[in-house]
Amino acid sequence: MSEKKRCVIVGGADIGDYARVKQYLRADDAIVFCDSGLKHMEALGVKPALIVGDFDSHCNPHLDVETIVLPCEKDDTDTVFAVKTMVQRGYDDFLLIGVIGARLDHTLGNVSILLYLDSLGKRAEIVDDYSEMQIVSKDEVSIEDKYPFFSLLNITGCARGITIRDAKYPLDGAEITCEYQYGVSNEVLPGKTAKISVRDGKLLLIKICRQ
C-alpha cells in the first residue's frame, strides 16, 4: 500500500536544530510556508509548493510559487488557513514544524490544529527541537524505548478509559482531567514498546526525543 501524500506546514516559530528537523522531511512532501515561516526556507533546503500569509511579519518574497495573500484581520491564523487549504486539496497526512515557540498563545493554537486534523480522520504530528507531538484518540499508539520520556496531557476536558502498557507508570482504565495532569514524564520500559489507548476523549502525546 502506498503512503498517503503528506503536507508539511512551516510556521514562524524559531527552529534551533535544523539538522534534526530535516530528518523528518521527505522528498515528495508538499511544503507550505506560512508568512514568517519563510525565514526557514534556506536552512531547510526545500522549495515551497505554496506560500500563505498576511505578510505582517515577513515580506512577500514574490517567488514564482502559488501565493495566497490574506488580510491581517481574520479569524484563522496563517497556519490554520494553510492547514484548511491543504485539507481541501486532499492531503491526509500533516507534519507541522516551526509552530512551537515563545508565543504561548500561538503555540497552544497550533497544538489545537492536531485536534482539528484528528477530528477529520487525518494523521498529524508536530515536531520541534525536543519532541514529537500527536493526538491519541480512536487508535492505539505505540512508543518505542528510544524516547527518554513521554507525557500524556488532557487538552480536551474529557479523557477516560486510558490504558498504558509496558511503561514505568502503567494505567488501566484510568482518567486524566485537565485539572490534574499526572501523565507527565513517563518512560517506556527498556526493550519494550509501550502501548497507549483511550476509550473516551483525546489526549496529547508528547514524545521527548532528547533529555
Amino acid at 3: E
3-state secondary structure of 74: coil
pLDDT in tens, the chain (211 residues): 345 689 999 999 999 999 999 999 999 999 999 999 999 999 999 999 999 998 888 888 888 999 999 988 888 999 999 999 999 999 999 999 999 999 999 999 999 999 999 999 999 999 999 999 999 998 999 999 999 999 999 999 889 999 999 999 999 999 999 999 999 999 999 999 999 999 999 999 999 997 6
**To which CATH superfamily is domain 6-129 assigned?**
Thiamin pyrophosphokinase, catalytic domain (3.40.50.10240)
CA-to-CA distance for 124 and 73, rounded, in angstroms?
27
CATH code of the domain made up of 136-208: 2.60.120.320
pLDDT (0 to 100) of residue 2 = 43
**Alpha carbon distances (Å) from 185 to 30, 118, 124, 139, 168:** 33, 24, 22, 22, 10
pLDDT (0 to 100) of residue 56 = 83
Q: Secondary structure of 162-201 in the HEC alphabet?
A: EEEECECCCEEEECCECCECCCCCECECCCCEEEEECCEE
For the chain, state the CA radius of gyration.
18
32 and 82 in contact (C-beta within 8 Å)? yes
Which is it for strands 93-97 and 159-160: parallel, antiparallel or unpaired?
unpaired
The answer to whether the predicted template modeling score (pTM) of the entire model surpasses 0.95 is no
Domain ranges (residues) in the chain: 6-129, 136-208
pLDDT (0 to 100) of residue 72 = 84
Q: How far is CA 209 from the centre of its chain?
A: 14
Burial readout 74-88 (b: 16 or more C-beta within 10 A, e: otherwise): eeebbbbbbbebbbe
Q: Which region, left, alpha or beta, applies to residue 5 given φ > 0 means left and ψ of -120 to 50 means alpha?
A: beta
Contacts for 132 with CB less than 8 Å, ≥ 6 apart = 125, 126, 206, 207, 209
Amino acid at 210: R
CA-to-CA distance for 74 and 57, rounded, in angstroms?
15
pLDDT (0 to 100) of residue 148 = 95
